[in-house]
Amino acid sequence: AHSGYGFPIGGVAAFDVEKGVISPGGIGFDINCGMRLVTTNLTYKEVKPHLKPLVDLLFKRVPAGVGCKGFVKVDKTIFRKIMQDGAGWCVENGYGWDQDLKNIEDNGCIANADATKVSERALLRGMDQLGTLGSGNHYLEIQYAGEIFDEKIAEKLGIVEDQICVMVHCGSRGFGHQIGTDYLKIFLDVMPKYGITILDQELACAPFNSKEGQDYYQAMACAANMAFANRQVITHQIRKTFEKVLGKSAQEMGMKLIYDVAHNIAKLEKYTIDGKEKTLLVHRKGSTRAFGPRHADQLPKDYATVGQPVILGGSMETGSYLLVGTNDADDETFASTAHGAGRTMSRAKAKYLWRGDQLQKDMEKRGIYVHGVTMAGLAEEAGKAYKDIEVVVDSLEAAKITRRVVALKPIGNVKG
């Protein structure tokens, strides 16, 4: 049960664009925190002897933790361009392949981004964070494809049993947080003007078609684009690391981006309401888009008949899932599904129950090598601090909003 008045994690709310509102609390403060999955043509057996050097070098090359800084140095002018162009800027500047862009939600760039709607403080917080994981539940994980549940779809997505994949979970870092904070304050000031009253400050909002509402939407798009760029730069570092450790090119190793999907975002999408097609502003907070084949025109050509890949993060001990969206999700949840297993307890309780160093040793005995920033941070992310991923996936399938394709099992993890 959800207590309090703010938006819950996993909350989905769709508003009429003419009469509805936009709310930072309904999007989340880590704007476009999202998931990305890269496959390889390597097997578990081939990678296992190189696991420790791979994880240790990834830890060096993809900075993690609070306040970490990225290796891509940009000035204000370039950072404003990144806000506008997203992952496209990265590919243009050598941090990725052209084909990456077609396998990113919105091709890695949300339209209507306007850098002039972003405060100087947000800009300064964001410009040195490109290529960083951050902290908390953010991670970079080496996995192998365990059980395959739908061979036809897995084949379409290019996944076979025992194949090595790399999953990344991170967002817009302090940049998105600052934009959320800035506009929450603005909305609290202007709500009386629009006759809006709320039960909790976290629900601060403004009419979507008001000046303030549009300003926030355009600033949010800037943060979303920075997050796409952040995950793109991290992908570049993953490819370079595999090349260094394994002595082959990323192309030879088939390091293809399967998909990159956002959560913590508001999107303009069309749905049939009372028999009429309407454009709605869909807020997804800790929730992932799950388009079925009905939305073929908005999916990569390879996936048009199977639905959108959905990357569902579990825990560093239990693994994750690759799912696909369904047409049923349109009618039930505004084409949305869960973004991860979700916690069962607070971080403080997890730290009380487990010791990070002991957890690290136990996991290594089970064939999972973890390199974390702090031992306390590791304890917070213990597998038992999260819901059982199998139960979550069963529920999503029973509700017919996603279909399971493959279970991904962890073998190496860089923790923020």
Rounded to whole angstroms, how far apart are CA atoms 277 and 334? 13
Strands 402-415 and 369-372: parallel
Rounded to whole angstroms, how far apart are CA atoms 49 and 27? 42
Cβ(228)–Cβ(264) under 8 Å? no
DSSP 5-69: SSPPTTEEEEEETTT-EE-GGGT-SSTT-EEEEEEEEEEHHHHGGGHHHHHHHHHHHS-BSTT--
Supply φ then ψ for residue 38, to 5 degrees.
-115, 130
3-state helix, strand, coil in the chain (%, to 5): 40, 25, 30
Cβ(225)–Cβ(84) under 8 Å? yes
Cβ(260)–Cβ(273) under 8 Å? no
Cβ(267)–Cβ(210) under 8 Å? no
Write down the catalytic residue from 177, 236, 339, 371.
339
Rounded to whole angstroms, how far apart are CA atoms 183 and 96? 33
Per the annotation, the verdict on 339 as an active-site residue is: yes
Supply φ then ψ for residue 300, to 5 degrees.
-55, 145
Instruction: Give the three-state DSSP class for 1.
Output: coil
Please, which residues bridge with residue 58 across strands?
Answer: none
Rounded to whole angstroms, how far apart are CA atoms 413 and 54? 10
Cβ(340)–Cβ(313) under 8 Å? yes
Cβ(271)–Cβ(280) under 8 Å? yes
Residue 351 exposure: Cα atoms within 13 Å on the Cβ side: 8
Catalytic annotation, residues: 339
